[in-house]
Chains A and B, each alone.
Chain A
Amino acid sequence: SQQGEEDPQALSIQEGENATMNCSYKTSINNLQWYRQNSGRGLVHLILIRSNEREKHSGRLRVTLDTSKKSSSLLITASRAADTASYFCATDTQGAQKLVFGQGTRLTINP
Protein backbone atom coordinates (compact mmCIF):
# COMPACT_ATOMS: atom_id res chain seq x y z
CA SER A 1 0.00 0.00 0.00
CA GLN A 2 1.11 3.55 -0.65
CA GLN A 3 2.24 5.68 2.25
CA GLY A 4 1.95 8.95 0.37
CA GLU A 5 -0.93 10.20 -1.69
CA GLU A 6 -0.46 13.12 -4.03
CA ASP A 7 -3.12 15.63 -4.84
CA PRO A 8 -4.12 16.49 -7.49
CA GLN A 9 -3.50 13.43 -9.65
CA ALA A 10 -3.11 15.70 -12.67
CA LEU A 11 -2.51 19.42 -13.05
CA SER A 12 -2.38 21.50 -16.22
CA ILE A 13 -1.27 25.15 -16.12
CA GLN A 14 0.10 27.84 -18.40
CA GLU A 15 3.81 28.52 -18.68
CA GLY A 16 4.87 31.13 -16.15
CA GLU A 17 2.22 30.22 -13.59
CA ASN A 18 2.97 28.58 -10.26
CA ALA A 19 2.21 24.91 -9.68
CA THR A 20 1.36 23.48 -6.29
CA MET A 21 1.02 19.81 -5.51
CA ASN A 22 0.36 18.15 -2.19
CA CYS A 23 1.35 14.93 -0.52
CA SER A 24 -0.29 13.33 2.48
CA TYR A 25 1.08 10.38 4.41
CA LYS A 26 -0.16 8.09 7.13
CA THR A 27 2.57 7.33 9.65
CA SER A 28 5.35 9.30 11.31
CA ILE A 29 8.31 9.93 9.05
CA ASN A 30 11.99 10.62 9.32
CA ASN A 31 12.24 12.51 6.03
CA LEU A 32 10.16 13.37 3.01
CA GLN A 33 11.60 13.71 -0.48
CA TRP A 34 10.25 14.89 -3.81
CA TYR A 35 11.27 13.32 -7.11
CA ARG A 36 10.49 14.16 -10.73
CA GLN A 37 10.00 11.63 -13.51
CA ASN A 38 9.90 12.49 -17.19
CA SER A 39 7.67 10.20 -19.26
CA GLY A 40 8.57 6.66 -18.13
CA ARG A 41 12.20 7.35 -17.42
CA GLY A 42 14.21 7.29 -14.21
CA LEU A 43 13.41 9.57 -11.31
CA VAL A 44 15.39 12.66 -10.43
CA HIS A 45 15.80 13.73 -6.83
CA LEU A 46 14.56 17.28 -6.24
CA ILE A 47 14.64 18.02 -2.55
CA LEU A 48 14.66 16.39 0.89
CA ILE A 49 13.01 17.86 3.97
CA ARG A 50 13.60 16.42 7.40
CA SER A 51 10.81 15.86 9.90
CA ASN A 52 12.07 18.70 12.09
CA GLU A 53 12.06 21.20 9.21
CA ARG A 54 9.02 23.20 8.12
CA GLU A 55 10.14 24.75 4.86
CA LYS A 56 12.94 24.35 2.35
CA HIS A 57 13.87 26.11 -0.88
CA SER A 58 15.88 25.05 -3.90
CA GLY A 59 15.89 27.38 -6.87
CA ARG A 60 12.28 27.67 -8.09
CA LEU A 61 11.15 24.92 -5.71
CA ARG A 62 9.63 25.46 -2.30
CA VAL A 63 8.67 22.55 -0.08
CA THR A 64 6.70 22.77 3.14
CA LEU A 65 6.12 20.04 5.71
CA ASP A 66 3.37 19.95 8.33
CA THR A 67 3.94 16.91 10.51
CA SER A 68 0.82 17.63 12.58
CA LYS A 69 -1.29 17.24 9.43
CA LYS A 70 1.02 14.62 7.93
CA SER A 71 1.25 16.57 4.71
CA SER A 72 3.75 18.29 2.46
CA SER A 73 3.45 20.61 -0.50
CA LEU A 74 5.73 21.28 -3.45
CA LEU A 75 5.51 24.68 -5.12
CA ILE A 76 7.17 25.29 -8.47
CA THR A 77 7.29 28.98 -9.29
CA ALA A 78 7.42 30.52 -12.76
CA SER A 79 6.80 27.18 -14.46
CA ARG A 80 8.50 26.23 -17.73
CA ALA A 81 7.64 23.70 -20.41
CA ALA A 82 10.57 21.59 -19.17
CA ASP A 83 8.80 21.17 -15.82
CA THR A 84 6.24 18.91 -17.53
CA ALA A 85 6.67 15.61 -15.69
CA SER A 86 5.25 13.45 -12.93
CA TYR A 87 6.15 14.43 -9.39
CA PHE A 88 6.34 11.94 -6.54
CA CYS A 89 6.73 12.32 -2.83
CA ALA A 90 8.63 9.61 -0.98
CA THR A 91 8.80 9.01 2.73
CA ASP A 92 11.01 6.96 4.93
CA THR A 93 9.19 6.01 8.06
CA GLN A 94 10.54 5.42 11.51
CA GLY A 95 11.56 1.80 11.79
CA ALA A 96 10.72 0.77 8.23
CA GLN A 97 14.05 1.63 6.60
CA LYS A 98 12.70 1.87 3.08
CA LEU A 99 11.38 4.56 0.78
CA VAL A 100 7.66 4.53 0.04
CA PHE A 101 6.44 6.53 -2.94
CA GLY A 102 3.08 8.11 -3.56
CA GLN A 103 1.10 7.69 -6.77
CA GLY A 104 2.37 10.97 -8.19
CA THR A 105 0.99 14.16 -9.71
CA ARG A 106 1.21 14.50 -13.49
CA LEU A 107 2.03 18.13 -14.25
CA THR A 108 1.58 19.58 -17.74
CA ILE A 109 2.88 23.04 -18.59
CA ASN A 110 1.17 24.53 -21.63
CA PRO A 111 3.14 27.05 -23.74
Chain B
Amino acid sequence: KAGVTQTPRYLIKTRGQQVTLSCSPISGHRSVSWYQQTPGQGLQFLFEYFSETQRNKGNFPGRFSGRQFSNSRSEMNVSTLELGDSALYLCASSLTGLHEQYFGPGTRLTVT
Protein backbone atom coordinates (compact mmCIF):
# COMPACT_ATOMS: atom_id res chain seq x y z
CA LYS B 1 0.00 0.00 0.00
CA ALA B 2 1.51 3.35 -0.99
CA GLY B 3 2.18 5.82 1.80
CA VAL B 4 1.21 9.46 2.11
CA THR B 5 2.85 11.60 -0.54
CA GLN B 6 3.43 15.31 -0.46
CA THR B 7 4.49 17.60 -3.27
CA PRO B 8 6.63 19.49 -3.66
CA ARG B 9 9.23 18.38 -1.12
CA TYR B 10 11.05 21.69 -1.09
CA LEU B 11 9.91 25.17 -1.96
CA ILE B 12 11.45 28.62 -1.83
CA LYS B 13 9.12 31.60 -2.04
CA THR B 14 9.37 35.34 -1.55
CA ARG B 15 7.45 37.36 1.02
CA GLY B 16 4.03 38.35 -0.27
CA GLN B 17 3.70 35.41 -2.66
CA GLN B 18 1.27 32.57 -2.21
CA VAL B 19 1.90 28.84 -2.21
CA THR B 20 -0.11 25.67 -2.67
CA LEU B 21 0.99 22.36 -1.18
CA SER B 22 -0.48 19.01 -2.13
CA CYS B 23 -1.07 15.82 -0.17
CA SER B 24 -2.22 12.42 -1.40
CA PRO B 25 -3.43 10.21 1.46
CA ILE B 26 -3.23 6.47 1.81
CA SER B 27 -5.89 4.78 -0.29
CA GLY B 28 -9.10 4.43 1.71
CA HIS B 29 -8.23 7.15 4.23
CA ARG B 30 -10.83 9.88 4.23
CA SER B 31 -9.25 12.12 6.87
CA VAL B 32 -6.36 14.43 6.04
CA SER B 33 -4.77 16.68 8.64
CA TRP B 34 -2.17 19.39 8.14
CA TYR B 35 0.51 20.49 10.60
CA GLN B 36 3.17 23.17 10.67
CA GLN B 37 6.46 22.28 12.34
CA THR B 38 8.99 24.93 13.37
CA PRO B 39 11.90 24.78 15.83
CA GLY B 40 10.29 27.41 18.03
CA GLN B 41 6.64 26.39 18.07
CA GLY B 42 6.96 22.67 17.44
CA LEU B 43 4.16 20.79 15.73
CA GLN B 44 1.00 22.82 15.42
CA PHE B 45 -2.32 21.64 14.04
CA LEU B 46 -3.59 23.62 11.06
CA PHE B 47 -6.80 21.86 10.00
CA GLU B 48 -8.41 18.54 9.26
CA TYR B 49 -10.59 17.52 6.36
CA PHE B 50 -12.89 14.53 6.25
CA SER B 51 -14.93 13.68 3.16
CA GLU B 52 -14.30 17.09 1.60
CA THR B 53 -15.43 19.01 4.71
CA GLN B 54 -13.21 20.92 7.09
CA ARG B 55 -13.94 19.28 10.39
CA ASN B 56 -11.42 20.98 12.69
CA LYS B 57 -9.26 24.07 12.55
CA GLY B 58 -6.27 25.24 14.54
CA ASN B 59 -5.35 28.76 15.61
CA PHE B 60 -3.87 30.07 12.40
CA PRO B 61 -4.78 33.24 10.48
CA GLY B 62 -7.11 33.15 7.51
CA ARG B 63 -4.11 33.27 5.16
CA PHE B 64 -3.91 29.53 5.73
CA SER B 65 -6.64 27.61 3.95
CA GLY B 66 -7.20 24.18 2.56
CA ARG B 67 -9.53 21.93 0.70
CA GLN B 68 -10.12 18.27 0.03
CA PHE B 69 -11.23 16.69 -3.19
CA SER B 70 -13.60 13.80 -3.77
CA ASN B 71 -10.64 11.40 -4.08
CA SER B 72 -9.47 12.54 -0.60
CA ARG B 73 -6.44 14.37 -1.97
CA SER B 74 -5.93 17.63 -0.15
CA GLU B 75 -4.28 20.94 -0.80
CA MET B 76 -3.34 23.72 1.54
CA ASN B 77 -2.76 27.27 0.46
CA VAL B 78 -0.90 30.05 2.20
CA SER B 79 -1.43 33.55 0.82
CA THR B 80 0.66 36.66 1.41
CA LEU B 81 3.61 34.70 2.72
CA GLU B 82 5.56 35.99 5.70
CA LEU B 83 9.07 35.09 6.84
CA GLY B 84 7.56 33.31 9.83
CA ASP B 85 5.74 30.88 7.54
CA SER B 86 9.06 29.14 6.85
CA ALA B 87 8.50 25.66 8.21
CA LEU B 88 8.08 21.99 7.50
CA TYR B 89 4.48 21.37 6.53
CA LEU B 90 3.29 17.86 7.26
CA CYS B 91 0.16 16.17 6.15
CA ALA B 92 -1.23 13.05 7.74
CA SER B 93 -4.01 10.72 6.74
CA SER B 94 -6.05 8.32 8.81
CA LEU B 95 -9.26 6.35 8.72
CA THR B 96 -10.97 8.25 11.51
CA GLY B 97 -9.04 11.47 11.99
CA LEU B 98 -7.45 11.38 15.43
CA HIS B 99 -6.06 7.90 15.79
CA GLU B 100 -2.99 6.38 14.18
CA GLN B 101 -2.19 9.07 11.68
CA TYR B 102 0.16 8.26 8.81
CA PHE B 103 2.43 11.14 7.95
CA GLY B 104 3.95 12.17 4.67
CA PRO B 105 7.58 13.26 4.38
CA GLY B 106 6.62 16.92 4.50
CA THR B 107 7.16 20.00 2.36
CA ARG B 108 10.00 22.24 3.49
CA LEU B 109 8.91 25.84 2.74
CA THR B 110 11.44 28.64 2.94
CA VAL B 111 10.22 32.21 2.66
CA THR B 112 12.86 34.83 1.83
What residues make up the interface of A, taking CB atoms closer than 8 Å to B?
Answer: 2, 30-31, 33, 35, 40-45, 48, 88, 92, 97-104
Contact = CB atoms under 8 A, between A and B. Distances in A.
Interface stretch (B41-49, B65-73, B78-86): B41-49
B99 to A, nearest CB: 6
A73 B44 CA distance: 22
Nearest to B6: A42
9 contacts: A31-B99, A42-B92, A42-B104, A42-B106, A43-B103, A97-B56, A98-B45, A101-B45, A104-B43
Nearest to A100: B45
A65 B55 CA distance: 28
A44 B33 contact: no
B32 interface: no
Interface in B12-46: 33, 35, 42-45
Interface of A is mostly: strand
A42 B42 contact: no
A104 B101 CA distance: 17
Interface residues of B, number: 25
B58 A98 contact: yes
Contacts of A35: 103
B80 to A, nearest CB: 25
Nearest to B3: A42
B55 to A, nearest CB: 7
A99 B92 CA distance: 11
B105 A42 contact: yes
A45 B98 contact: no
A1 to B, nearest CB: 9
A97 B98 contact: yes
A41 B58 CA distance: 22
Nearest to A104: B42
A101 B43 CA distance: 6
